[in-house]
């Protein structure tokens, strides 16, 4: 109880509330701009939050991402261009509703169900994270080793990309994590006598390069083809939403449940949750033939799912230190930078911090309602923001942000190199997210692996000797076998557009 | 721009071999079976395996060695594309001698004009954004942005 009061004190501080407000506006804007993703919003926020205490830093990230995931629905419905990948699953459906003259209802449903789905995800996070933490406190290096393996494998397994290329990206990320002074023996690995590399590959600069600079390079090519944006006027968006809720409350619960479950899986996030729940909605609908023609049913499922996934992705991140998606991978990086290693001990040593995160999540979902309404009303102006001036300004943010992470040009050089690498990878259908997860988890994976090897002393079965470790190990090996079988049978898999 | 899988696989195979070769220079410690080279070697082997799969798959599927998208044949678009990494490179080279404010202003202005923003708008926005970013990062967050030419003024 004491910790909860402390958490209230931490969150309801004018500075923290100010940060949350500004981040909310920032998240709304980035999410609503097609081509700028929620992950990019987080990447650009990290250098700013680096200089803040933990609570406002986490508050900024939580709020900005929650807003961005909702705001991505706006251009999806108005222009058929999803603002973030998490809205891609139902952008066509939303646009079809708009063409039928139901833009108001579509926006209202998106907003209300985003808030409600987000709240369900938060409720599950609050209920289960502390319980899981009590179990996790007894984990040894074996359990952590298998958890890290499982998380990284899921990241490859759940992404739509070719598994071979997914693993390639993952191994490369893990390899990047080994650059620098080796934690066990203190030997500098892959540093080529460079002083900057001794400290390792800076994670934030890498992320800004991979998620922002490569995106700018892609955007710069098509800048001259910008279509003139014509946006319909928006009326009363809340009219009729109550009726939709009464009719499709089961869809709402199902979408939120699927979203929460997928978000809590290590390695899968909001965009996958939206795709799967939309597909489920169609599968179990009484009128599946109407999907794609502007029916609200699938949107209810999917828009609830992506916001609930966002919150539940924090469960594995906070409890085990294993990210649920690329946004929480960034969060874990931020926690490490603040000297707070995520894991079950945080729940015992700093419970007020965990409660503060919960409070911020609730707060973010509450202010989403008025802010989302304002964003929908001003969508015309937001979507008209000139992209030819936006791109250079974002580049400047990237440059200064990565400079600030190292206080030297090393960060900028690294960002540029990683931006080019990220672009080349995407061109070849190699997903970027596994690399980032590998870079974040690399040190933990290596440490738990080497510790376990030393403890097991050559006896491989020791890795399966404890009940939870054994279960996790068998599940992980099972997924590896399935993927191997798939890789042999199907050969190259065409990446979906 | 896309290399054939076989070519990509071959390049990555060489890369994996190079990483393995580098690990042979890592020291081993007596009495400790698992040294600093163990994990990187597993990763090099993993990359090598994936590279081999890509190589075999690419050879089986055939196809052109290099596929270029249509935009790569339009010089203006290629230049736009190069503006982003080129701009970053210019910042890396110029920010120390010139200082943050002149470099950022010139970078923004140059890119605005290249992407066809109206000069009436480009000039004030470039100046305003530069000062805003400088105020926020150098003033508020105490990031040591290079002062360069303006050292005596700031």
CA distance A96 to A109: 14
Q: Phi then psi for A37, rounded to 5 degrees?
A: -100, 170
> In this predicted structure, what is the pLDDT of residue A488?
59
Is A125 among the domain residues? yes
Task: Provide the chain B residues 69-108 that lie in CB contact (below 8 A) with chain A.
Answer: 71, 76-77, 80-81, 83-85, 87-89, 91-92, 95-96, 100, 104, 107-108
Q: How far is A155 from chain B (nearest CA, A)?
A: 16
Is A307 among the domain residues? yes
Rg (CA), chain B: 24
Contact (Cβ atoms closer than 8 angstroms) between residue A263 and residue A325? yes
Is A128 among the domain residues? yes
Q: Within 10 Å of residue B27's Cβ, how many Cβ atoms?
A: 10
Identify the domain containing residue A128 by its residue range: 2-223+233-490
Residue A426 tokens read as: 């995407």
Sign of torsion over alpha carbons A47, A48, A52, A55: negative
Sign of torsion over alpha carbons A473, A479, A484, A485: positive
Is A496 among the domain residues? no
Contact (Cβ atoms closer than 8 angstroms) between residue A478 and residue A155? no
CA distance A446 to A456: 15
Is A65 among the domain residues? yes
CB contact under 8 A, B111 and A171: no
> In this predicted structure, what is the pLDDT of residue A222?
81
ipTM tops 0.90: yes
> In this predicted structure, what is the pLDDT of residue A492?
46
Is any Cβ of chain A less than 8 angstroms from the Cβ of B13?
Answer: no
Task: Provide the chain A residues 422-451 that lie in CB contact (below 8 A) with chain B.
Answer: 424, 427-428, 446, 449-450
Residue ranges in chain A modelled with pLDDT below 70: 1, 158-160, 225-231, 487-497
> In this predicted structure, what is the pLDDT of residue B130?
96
CA distance A289 to A274: 19
Is A497 among the domain residues? no
Q: How far is B151 from chain A (nearest CA, A)?
A: 18
Confidence of residue B51 (pLDDT cuts 50, 70, 90): very high
Q: State how many domains chain A has.
A: 1
> In this predicted structure, what is the pLDDT of residue A493?
44
> In this predicted structure, what is the pLDDT of residue A258?
94
Residue A136 tokens read as: 């996790």
Mean pLDDT of chain B: 91
Sign of torsion over alpha carbons B125, B131, B137, B140: negative
CB contact under 8 A, A487 and B26: no
CA distance A171 to A204: 19
> In this predicted structure, what is the pLDDT of residue A160?
65
Residue A334 tokens read as: 């931020």
């Amino acid at each position: 109880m004491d910790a909860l009061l402390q958490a209230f004190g931490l969150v309801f501080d004018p500075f923290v509330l100010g940060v949350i407000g500004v981040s909310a506006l920032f998240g709304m804007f980035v999410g609503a701009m097609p081509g700028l993703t929620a992950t990019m919003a987080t990447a650009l926020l990290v250098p700013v939050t680096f200089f803040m205490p933990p609570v406002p830093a986490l508050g900024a990230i939580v709020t900005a991402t929650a807003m961005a995931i909702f705001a991505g629905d706006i251009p999806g419905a108005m222009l058929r261009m999803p603002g973030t990948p998490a809205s891609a699953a139902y952008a066509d459906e939303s646009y079809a509703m708009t063409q039928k003259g139901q833009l108001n209802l579509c926006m209202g449903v998106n907003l209300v169900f985003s808030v409600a789905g987000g709240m369900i995800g938060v409720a599950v996070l609050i209920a289960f994270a502390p319980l899981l933490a009590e179990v996790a406190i007894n984990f040894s290096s074996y359990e952590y080793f298998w958890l890290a393996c499982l998380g990284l494998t899921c990241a490859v397994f759940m992404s739509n990309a070719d598994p071979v290329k997914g693993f390639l990206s993952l191994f490369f990320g893990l390899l990047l994590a080994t650059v620098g002074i080796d934690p066990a023996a203190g030997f500098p690995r892959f540093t080529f006598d460079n002083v900057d590399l001794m400290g390792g590959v800076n994670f934030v600069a890498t992320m800004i390069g991979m998620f922002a600079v490569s995106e700018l390079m892609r955007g710069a090519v098509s800048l001259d083809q910008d279509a003139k944006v014509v946006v319909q006027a928006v009326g009363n968006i809340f009219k009729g939403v109550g009726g939709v809720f009464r009719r499709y409350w089961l869809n709402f619960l199902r979408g939120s449940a699927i979203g929460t479950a997928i978000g809590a899986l290590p390695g899968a996030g909001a965009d996958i949750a939206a795709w799967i729940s939309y597909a489920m909605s169609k599968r179990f609908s009484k009128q599946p033939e109407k999907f794609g023609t502007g029916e609200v049913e699938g949107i209810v499922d999917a828009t609830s799912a992506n916001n609930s996934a966002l919150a539940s992705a924090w469960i594995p991140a906070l409890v085990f230190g294993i990210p649920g998606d690329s946004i929480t991978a960034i969060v874990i990086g931020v926690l490490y930078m603040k000297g707070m290693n995520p894991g079950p001990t945080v729940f015992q040593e700093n419970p007020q911090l965990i409660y503060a995160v919960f409070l911020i999540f609730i707060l973010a979902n509450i202010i989403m309602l008025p802010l989302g309404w304002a964003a929908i009303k001003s969508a015309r102006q937001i979507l008209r923001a000139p992209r030819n001036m936006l791109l250079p300004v974002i580049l400047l943010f990237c440059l200064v942000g990565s400079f600030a992470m190292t206080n030297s040009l090393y960060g900028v050089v690294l960002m540029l190199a990683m931006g080019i690498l990220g672009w080349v990878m995407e061109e070849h259908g190699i997903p970027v997210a596994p690399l980032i997860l590998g870079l974040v988890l690399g040190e933990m994976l290596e440490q738990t692996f080497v510790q376990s090897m030393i403890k097991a002393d050559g006896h491989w079965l020791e890795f399966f000797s404890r009940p939870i470790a054994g279960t996790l190990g068998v599940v992980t090996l099972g997924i590896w076998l399935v993927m191997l079988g798939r890789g042999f049978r199907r050969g190259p898999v065409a990446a979906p557009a | 721009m896309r290399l054939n899988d076989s070519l990509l696989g071959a390049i990555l195979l060489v890369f994996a071999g190079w990483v393995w070769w580098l690990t042979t220079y890592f020291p081993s410690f007596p009495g400790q079976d698992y040294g600093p080279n163990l994990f990187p070697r597993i990763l090099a082997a993993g990359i090598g395996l994936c590279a081999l799969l890509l190589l075999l798959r690419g050879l089986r599927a055939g196809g052109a060695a290099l596929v270029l998208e249509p935009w790569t044949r339009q010089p203006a678009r290629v230049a736009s594309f190069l503006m982003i990494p080129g701009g970053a490179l210019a910042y890396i080279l110029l920010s120390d001698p010139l200082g943050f404010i002149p470099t950022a202003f010139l970078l923004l202005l140059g890119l605005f004009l290249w992407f066809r923003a109206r000069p009436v708008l480009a000039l004030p926005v470039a100046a305003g954004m530069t000062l805003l970013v400088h105020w926020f990062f150098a003033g508020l967050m105490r990031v040591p942005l290079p002062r360069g030419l303006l050292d005596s003024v700031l």
